[in-house]
Structure 1
């Protein structure tokens, strides 16, 4: 009887705190209403590494770790470590704020339980599904309700204390989630020509890159993403490593410019990096016709804002990488 009362108390606390939290957080922004279908789709998303996968796209959604926080960790007297991970949910098509994903993990079994919490404007059926999950899943997993209740209560207390999620310049801007290139960015085609990214269509075949074999190969475009707004493009200037070490008699070629939104990932010698995080001295890779493959290029200069544009494009490819201006860039 005592355990049943405790479970009921935790359930009621979770429901009340969640409702207050969503009203306070998402009512501050023009959030879209999450549907039951969307809630079920988010709940079915599998996250490969909860500790490392803090931001990614899947199934038409963007999942972004809430306030970039690590997991909440609890160790009870039974010796089992329990964790709660929080992600913000956005629609990938228009970056509308949809709600929150809370993931419970049992450290003994490694089993995870997802809870999709709709935003304040969420459909009633989506809210009903969340309440059902609290009741029926929570009853079967000891420790789940108390950990989830604590986390949501803690976040609510932080919001009421004046914290909670706004940066110095307000909420995250939509363009922070748009990883893209200007409309005239040249995509390298298998026949050696280039085509403006605005003219690429889903189903087209472009030059891709296999990071494991370090080789170029044709790859199919599965999706073209287009965003309209006001976007600043960062730039890096690249020079061949051979030119940097050539003798004074060699004719130097002007550095090549690669520009994209600052968060678009590129392939560097150190691995995947956002373009805005690339520094002078870093190494990127470009296609070389003579070598019939990619060669190392050194970053000789960077610029945070080369120009602005009102429309940006991104490709999703089967290989996960393609060439812009013959430079290897990665899918977001």
Structure 2
């Protein structure tokens, strides 16, 4: 009897906190009404690596780790580690806020349970589906309801205390923050070494990709092309070959080459993945070397946060997760 009452209390706590959290979060953002079909599609999304995949697109949706939080980790007296991961969910087409995706993982059994939490303006059927998941899925897994309830309550408390996360002055997360892209005239290197403007690349094209483990260039197929229109600021980074910078004859230095993109687009550096806007002078990036058919190290000699604005931007999704723009290794989102 006590167990049933406790389970019921946790269920109501989770449901009420979710409703309050959704009203608080989505009142601050440009939102769309989640439908039941959208909820089902989001719930079916498979995340390959919950600890590393913090931002990606799938099936017409953008998933972005909520406030860049790491997983909430719980270890009960039974010795089982349980985790909760939170993602904000947006429509890929217009980056409208749909809701939250909470993912529960039991580290011992490997069980993963997704819970799609609709926004406050969502269709009633979407809310009914979420409540059903709490009741018929959540209560079957020991520890799930208490961990989920704690996480949502904690986030609600943070919002009530004034935590607004990464929002602009009006409380809206800027659309540009979700668009990791290049200008239409950015040059993409194809598998045969020729180039084509990114705006002319199509799904199915084969371009030169990059294998981070082998540090080798490999042909890779384009599986998606993202296009966004609006006004976008591009950051610029100027690069010079490392071997030239260490040569004695400095009068023979060639002019630095430039790569530009939205500041948040990731590039491959000697220390790993880094947003272009976070790249600093002295960092090392990698560029295509036609002579060796591989890559050469280039050092950053200059950066600029905003060099020009464009009205349309493009991004590729590739099988290898990396491709070449202006002969520089860049990464998929």
TM-score, scaled to structure 1: 0.92
SS in 1 for 2:137: helix
Tell me the equivalent position of 2:322. Answer: 321
Tell me the equivalent position of 1:85. Answer: 85
Provide the rounded CA distance (Å) in 2 between the counterparts of 1:249 and 1:164.
Answer: 50
Structure 1 residues 82 and 308, CA gap change in structure 2 (3 angstroms)? same
SS in 1 for 2:252: coil
Provide the rounded CA distance (Å) in 2 between the counterparts of 1:299 and 1:143.
Answer: 49
Provide the rounded CA distance (Å) in 2 between the counterparts of 1:151 and 1:222.
Answer: 35
Structure 1 contact 60–93 (Cα < 8 Å) conserved: yes
Deviation string, structure 1 residues 8-50 (Cα, Å, up to 9, x no partner): 2221221122112212211332311222222222222233333
Moved more, 245-254 or 225-234: 245-254
Provide the rounded CA distance (Å) in 1 between the counterparts of 2:56 and 2:102.
Answer: 16
SS in 2 for 1:25: helix
Provide the rounded CA distance (Å) in 1 between the counterparts of 2:76 and 2:322.
Answer: 45
Tell me the equivalent position of 1:310. Answer: 311
SS in 2 for 1:153: helix
Moved more, 44-53 or 238-247: 44-53
Tell me if 1:251 matches 2:233.
no
Tell me the equivalent position of 2:14. Answer: 14
Q: Superposition pairs for residues 70-149 of structure 1, below 5 Å?
A: 70-149=70-149
Tell me if 1:286 matches 2:321.
no
Q: Superposition pairs for residues 129-278 of structure 1, below 5 Å?
A: 129-165=129-165, 167=167, 169=169, 170-248=171-249, 251-278=252-279
SS in 2 for 1:53: coil
Moved more, 166-175 or 121-130: 166-175
Gaps of 5+ in 1: none
Provide the rounded CA distance (Å) in 2 between the counterparts of 1:243 and 1:143.
Answer: 59
SS in 1 for 2:67: helix
Provide the rounded CA distance (Å) in 2 between the counterparts of 1:309 and 1:280.
Answer: 25
Structure 1 residues 81 and 214, CA gap change in structure 2 (3 angstroms)? closer
Aligned length: 332
SS in 2 for 1:32: coil
Provide the rounded CA distance (Å) in 1 between the counterparts of 2:148 and 2:254.
Answer: 59
Deviation at 1:158, TM superposition (A): 2.4
Deviation at 1:234, TM superposition (A): 0.9
User: CA RMSD of the aligned region, Å?
Assistant: 2.0
